[in-house]
Amino acid sequence: MTDSVAQAGSADGAGTAGAPGPAGGAGGPGGHRGPGALVAEVAGRQPRLDPTAYTAPTSVVLGDVALGERASVWYHAVLRGDCERIRIGAGSNIQDNCTVHADPGFPAIVGAGVTVGHNTVLHGCVIEDGVLVGMGATVLNGARIGAGSLVAAAALVPQGMVVPPNSLVAGVPAKVRRELTEEERERLRLNAEHYVELAGAHREALG
C-alpha cells in the first residue's frame, strides 16, 4: 500500500497528501469552486477541500469528501460521500461525468497523481498512487488497484479484485494482462501533471 493511500484511508485524513485537514480553515468547505459547482454537507458529513483543489462548474461534491492539494473534479462529475468517506489525493483528477460513491465499510480512496478518465465509476474501492483508470471503466467495492497501474478503458474490475502494482488491467471482467514498462508509467505520471495544469487554466478562464 502506498503511503498517501494509507494516510488518506484514516478516519479523517487530516494533514496528509491524500486528504487535507479542515478545509479552508474553520467552518467552510474550502477549495476553489467554479460557478455552478455544488459542494455541500449531507447528513452531518461535510466536504473538506484543500485551498488549491479545483471543482469545475456543474461538478457535485457532497458529504464526507476530502480533496488534496491541486486535486481537480471536472464537469458533471459526482462525488457522493453520504454513506462512507471519499478521499482524493494530491494532484489527482476526476474527469467529466465520473461517479465516485462508497458503501458503509467500503470507503473510496484515491491516492496521489491519479487520473480517472471520463465516464468512469469508482465504487468503494482503493486506487493507489500514479494509476490511470481509463474512460468508462468501473471499479467495484473492495477492489484495490496497485500503484502505477493502468486500467484500460471500459474495463470492469470486480468486487474484491487486488491488482499488483505496475499492471495493465483490461477486459470484462478485468484481468491482469502484463506489467507496464517504465515508459508507460512515465506517461501516466505526465497525464496527471497535465490535468493539474489544465485545472489552473480553467480556473483562470471561468473564475
DSSP string over 101-147 = E-BTTB-EEE-TT-EE-TT-EEES-EE-TT-EEPTT-EE-TT-EEPT
Per-residue pLDDT band at 2 (split at 50, 70, 90):
low
What is the topology classification, in CATH, of domain 3-206?
A: UDP N-Acetylglucosamine Acyltransferase; domain 1 (2.160.10)
Q: Which position has the higher pLDDT, 158 or 20?
A: 158
d(CA 41, CA 47): 6
Give me the chain's average pLDDT, please.
90
d(CA 113, CA 121): 18
Predicted TM-score (pTM) of this structure: 0.88
Task: Say whether pLDDT at 24 is over 50.
Answer: no
Per-residue pLDDT band at 16 (split at 50, 70, 90):
very low
